[in-house]
Amino acid sequence: MPNAFETPQDAEDAFYDAFEEGNIEAMMTAWAARDDIICIQPMRRQAIGRQGVREAWEEVFSSGARLAVEVHHQHWSESGDCAIHIVLEQLTLNGDASNRPPPILATNLYRNYGDGWLLVLHHASPPPPPPGMVQGMPPQAGIQVPVMPQR
């Protein structure tokens, strides 16, 4: 069972340290020991529960790529036993600064169930496109929904 953390930020540090290390056991210590934890990686369906979340990260880590993650906080709020961090994640792959995908926008939700803070939700999604980029939604819709990249 994971030991809870003193602050939401401590849980977040454990999460991103494990992400960078590609360490699945360390990753799982950041998450609450609950069947209702949720992880949504960019352009993926939700992974639910400890086993689902573990498998999602095992798949990420299975490539063996060396990932560095710069975390840029966009917004924090904490109220009662619930803390929300909105972050931009800037990945660097295999130490190659020229190979940096667009930053990922993520919501991290932490709860304190009485003995400290743990991650319960990570929803990561593609970032806004660069200014001036046209997105793939009928213009009358008013909502911008990207089309899938055509490959």
Q: Is 93 an interacting residue with respect to a second copy (CB under 8 A)?
A: yes
Nearer to a second copy, 1 or 145 (CB): 145
CA separation (Å) from 20 to 52, 72, 86, 95? 20, 15, 19, 11
Q: Which residues contact 34 (CB under 8 A, 6 or more apart)?
A: 49, 50, 120
Question: Cα–chain-centroid distance for residue 68?
Answer: 14
143 vs 33: CA distance, rounded Å = 37
Nearer to a second copy, 1 or 141 (CB): 141
> Collapsing DSSP states into helix, strand and coil, what is residue 51?
helix
The distance of closest approach from Cβ of residue 103 to a second copy in the complex, given in angstroms and rounded to an integer, is 9
| Window 111-150: residues binding a second copy (CB under 8 A) | 111, 113, 120-121, 123, 125-130, 133-150
Q: Count residues contacting a second copy (CB under 8 A)?
A: 67
Question: Cα–chain-centroid distance for residue 139?
Answer: 30
Applying CB under 8 A, the residues found at the interface with a second copy are 36, 38, 40-46, 48, 59-65, 67, 74-75, 77, 79-82, 84, 86, 91, 93-94, 99, 101-102, 104-105, 107, 109, 111, 113, 120-121, 123, 125-130, 133-151
